[in-house]
Amino acid sequence: MTLSALRVLLALAVTIHVLLTKRDTAAAIGWIGMAALMPVLGSILYLMFGINRVKRLARKLVRQRGAPGSAPATRWQKSVEGRFAPLASMVGKLTSRSLVGGNNIEMLHDGDEAYPAMLDAIQRANTSVLLCSYIFRADRVGGLFIDALIDANNRGVAVRVLVDGVGAGYFSCPTARRLRRAGVPCGRFMHSLLPWSMPFINLRNHRKSLIIDGVLGFIGGLNIGDENMVADCPRDPVSDTHFRVRGPIVRQLAAAFAWDWTFTEGEDLAGPTYFPDIDASGTDLMRIVTAGPDTDLEKIEFVMLQAMTLARSSIRLMTPYFLPGTRLSTELCLAALRGVTVDIVIPQRSNHVVMDWACRADIHPVLDAGCRVWSAPPPFNHSKLLVVDREWSFVGSSNLDMRSLRLNFEINLETYNAEFSQRVDDFIVGHCDRRVTHHDLDKRNYLTKLRDSGARLLSPYL
């Protein structure tokens, strides 16, 4: 009798908490069903994986420090005229960040171009170096970054390094160990050996950024490791795209890092060391957009949806994994049905075979609506790019899958510069190698289709 009563109480407690906290109906029904069928095991799993403790802490930080996008605005505030004015207005309200001008942006390809520029910037740093990376290997390339960071710290530069608690190594993180031994502050985001801290699956910091002296920034999809040096022909090469930015936008990039650093280490980064006055370096209008399962929930997805709604001629996107969920998939279909050219570029083969299986089961709707899906030839391309009408672009760390859009902490950059957007658009078009058709999907045998459809059910967790 006592055990039965305990099972009922556990199931009831989970049900009440789910009803009060879960917005997603399917997830709510799933957790309630699990608790009802397996009260003890279901309650343990919900305690480990179902409760978003990050949002609670993030709200506490907002009360103490203000929203992460509330860094002082620069004097470069301009309005966007034309069709994208509603987008600019919406994103400003959504993110609490100003659209700032006076910026310059350069596209860098692979580690071959990006790493030398990043290392040179670290070596030239005078006041501060802020580095965030999901993966930071302690291999040959990683060793070059570790040595440069240690040298900067030794000459009096304020260095802060943030790596993900899983991506950079869960059981062992040689990078963090070497940096800490040399006196370089290095935080491991959401790292804990306690299972209820959800270290294995959810809430990863997938952001990649580097800020030098508060005036020069790098942002994109590039991790730190030998595999990104494509010209060196590593065993499993990863091609990627990174961006170097100058101008007032760097202040927003630094503010995003400072928020993550405070969340992880409890140290506030403030003052001219990290946030100096910044002069104009160009004419580009830009804004940082962050997303994560905290106060920024789904903001990158909302920006994409609004931009696609405004498309009149073309939408081109490049992503390493295409599992967008119902909302983005529907918007892409609607755009294609109203006559917009929609090109989706995915790798011929990614570095996650189960993601590839799930993707093949997920692209039927967009093909049915008239979207064109292309497979890019090897090496595996890890770029995350979106361009609308060759006038507006959105680049950064966010993949087009439900994990990136709703579970990971991501950072993207929107630009209202036609010249830059055309360069990114041309880059995407250049990777449209082989078109994926209905015939390609239909010729799979029954067991392969069954496997791919089964993998699709795992898409929220891949």
Tens digits of per-residue pLDDT, 322-337? Answer: 988 889 999 999 999 9
Position 72 scores a pLDDT of 45
Q: Does the residue 111 lie in any domain?
A: yes
The confidence score (pLDDT) of residue 126 equals 97
Q: Give the type of residue at 442.
A: D
Residues 168 and 260 both lie in one domain: yes
Residue 49 pLDDT: 65
**Other C-beta atoms lying within 10 Å of the C-beta of residue 457:** 10
Average pLDDT over residues 210-222: 97
199 assigned to some structural domain = yes
User: Are 314 and 390 within 8 A, CB to CB?
Assistant: yes
- Band of residue 80 on the pLDDT scale cut at 50, 70, 90: low
Instruction: Give residue 426's identity as a one-letter amino acid code.
Output: D
- Note whether 424 and 314 are within 8 A (CB): no
How do residues 265-282 score in pLDDT, each as one tens digit? 999 999 999 999 999 989
Higher pLDDT, 168 or 397: 397
94 domain-assigned: no
Secondary structure, 3-state, the chain = CHHHHHHHHHHHHHHHHHHHHCCCHHHHHHHHHHHHHCHHHHHHHHHHHHCCHHHHHHHHHHHHHCCCCCCCCCCCECCCCCCCHHHHHHHHHHHCCCCEEEEEEEEEEHHHHHHHHHHHHHHHCCCEEEEEECCECCCHHHHHHHHHHHHHHHCCCEEEEEEECCCCCCCCCHHHHHHHHCCCCEEEECCCCCHHHCCCCCCCECCCEEEECCCEEEEECCCECHHHCHHHCCCCCEECEEEEEECCHHHHHHHHHHHHHHHHHCCCCCCCCCCCCCCCCCCEEEEEEEECCCCCCCHHHHHHHHHHHHCCCEEEEECCCEECHHHHHHHHHHHHHCCCEEEEEEECCCCCHHHHHHHHCCCHHHHHCCCEEEEECCCEECCCEEEECCCEEEEECCCEEHHHHHHCEEEEEEECCHHHHHHHHHHHHCCCCEEECHHHHHCCCHHHHHHHHHHHCCHHHC
- Kindly report the backbone phi and psi dihedral angles of residue 270, in degrees, each rounded to the nearest multiple of 5, phi listed first: -150, 170
Q: What is the pLDDT of residue 66?
A: 54
More confident residue, 54 or 270: 270
Q: Which pLDDT score, from 0 to 100, does residue 71 have?
A: 44
* Predicted confidence (pLDDT) per residue in 435-456, tens digit: 998 888 888 888 988 888 887 8
Domain CATH code at residue 232: 3.30.870.10
- pTM here? 0.88
- Which residues make Cβ contacts (< 8 Å) with residue 81, sequence separation at least 6? none
* pLDDT top residue among 254 and 406: 254
Of 253, 284, 315, which closes a domain? 284
Is residue 254 located within the same domain as residue 389?
A: no
Residues of the chain with pLDDT > 90, as a percent, come to: 59
Domain that holds residue 137: 58-79+102-284
Residue with tokens 């291999």, as numbered in its chain: 139
Residues 148 and 128 in one domain: yes
Nearest to 53 by CA among 148, 174, 192: 192
- CA atoms of 451 and 35, how far apart (whole Å): 28
Structure tokens at 294: 């905290």
Average the pLDDT over 54-82 and give the result: 50
pLDDT digits (tens, 9 = 90+) for 306-318: 999 999 999 999 9
User: What average pLDDT does this structure show over 13-20?
Assistant: 80
Helix 85-95 × helix 299-310 angle, to 10°: 170
Question: C-alpha distances in angstroms, 152 versus 164, 245, 356, 426?
Answer: 22, 21, 41, 38
Same domain, 198 and 227: yes
Over residues 232-242, mean pLDDT = 94
Residue 331 lies in a domain: yes
219 strand-pairing partners? 209, 243
Find out whether 369 and 379 touch, Cβ atoms under 8 Å: no
Mean pLDDT of the chain: 87
Report the pLDDT value the prediction gives residue 351, as an integer from 0 to 100. 84
Q: What is the mean pLDDT of residues 47-58?
A: 59
Q: Are 436 and 373 in contact (CB under 8 A)?
A: yes
| pLDDT at 30 > cutoff 80 | no
Q: Which residues of 357-390 are buried (b: 16+ CB within 10 A; e: fewer)?
A: bbbbbbbeebbebebbbbbbeebbbbbbbbbbbb
Please give the pLDDT value at position 52.
61
Q: Do 111 and 234 belong together in one domain? A: yes
Which of 240, 260, 284 terminates a domain? The answer is: 284
- Whether 60 shows a pLDDT value over 70: the answer reads no
Asked if 244 and 266 sit in the same domain, the reply is yes
Q: Could you tell me if 118 and 146 lie in one domain? A: yes
Structure tokens at 277: 């006055």
Q: Are residues 261 and 313 in the same domain?
A: no
Query: Cβ distance 149 to 175 under 8 Å?
Result: no
Q: State yes or no: pLDDT of 75 exceeds 50.
A: no
98: number of CA atoms within 13 Å, CB side?
Answer: 17
* pLDDT digit string, tens, across residues 129-148: 999 999 999 999 999 999 99
How far apart are alpha carbons 183 and 257 in whole angstroms?
A: 20
Report the half-sphere exposure of 7 (CA within 13 A, side-chain side).
10
Answer with the residue of higher pLDDT: 426 or 73.
426
Domains in the chain, number = 3
The CA distance from 352 to 346, in Å, is 13
User: Does residue 193 register a pLDDT over 80?
Assistant: no
For residues 247 and 195, membership in a common domain is answered with yes
Asked if the model's pLDDT at residue 73 lies above 50, the reply is: no
Query: Tell me: the pLDDT tens digits for 285-306?
Result: 999 999 987 667 789 999 999 9
Contact 347, 320 (CB under 8 A): yes
Domain annotation covers residue 356: yes
Statement to judge: residues 377 and 403 lie in one domain: yes
90 part of a folded domain: no
Nearest of 159, 191, 187, 164 to residue 411 by alpha carbon: 164
Whether 54 shows a pLDDT value over 60: the answer reads no
Among 258, 284, 310, which residue terminates a domain?
284
Structure confidence by residue, pLDDT tens digits, 82-113 = 779 999 999 999 999 999 999 999 999 999 99
Summarize the confidence of residues 33-60 as an average pLDDT.
68
Do residues 266 and 311 share a domain?
A: no
Which has more confidence, 60 or 431? 431
Is 148 in the same domain as 251?
yes
